[in-house]
């Protein structure tokens, strides 16, 4: 098993590349059609955990963490709208 190790991101630098890669992959999976609510909730929880952990460990700045949380909330809204549209049909 491979573990993600974080190194502190200096002020003004971008977030840790591994954190960005994992978040991008999880977000892209959540955008795929046919994702069930339980799977989406798991992906959402994983992303929140990564964001909180990376921010606490210095793998991303507070501004980057806020941006990532906002992106995740937007993804949730889109998922909810898409899901309701699918259920109405």
Q: Rounded to the nearest 5°, which phi and psi values hold at 38?
A: -65, -40
What integer best gives the mean pLDDT of the chain? 82
Q: What are the residue boundaries of the structural domains of the chain, listed by start?
A: 17-88
The C-alpha atoms of residue 35 and residue 28 are separated, in whole angstroms, by 11
Whether the pLDDT of residue 73 is over 90: the answer is: yes
Q: What is the pTM of this model?
A: 0.73
Percentage of residues in the chain having pLDDT higher than 90: 36
Whether the pLDDT of residue 50 is over 80: the answer is: yes
The pLDDT, as a whole number, for residue 38 is: 92
The C-alpha atoms of residue 43 and residue 27 are separated, in whole angstroms, by 8
**pLDDT-derived band at 87, boundaries 50, 70, 90:** low
CB-count exposure of residue 24 (10 Å: 0-12, 13-18, 19+): exposed
Do residues 60 and 9 touch, judged by C-beta distance below 8 A?
yes
Do residues 65 and 22 touch, judged by C-beta distance below 8 A?
no
């Amino acid at each position: 098993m491979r573990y993600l190790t974080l190194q502190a991101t200096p002020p003004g630098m971008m977030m840790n590349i591994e954190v960005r890669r994992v978040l991008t992959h999880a977000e892209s999976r959540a955008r795929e059609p046919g994702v069930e609510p339980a799977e989406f909730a798991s992906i959402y929880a994983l992303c929140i955990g990564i964001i909180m952990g990376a921010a606490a460990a210095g793998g991303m700045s507070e501004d980057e963490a806020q941006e990532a949380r906002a992106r995740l909330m937007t993804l949730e809204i889109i998922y909810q709208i898409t899901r309701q549209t699918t259920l109405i049909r």
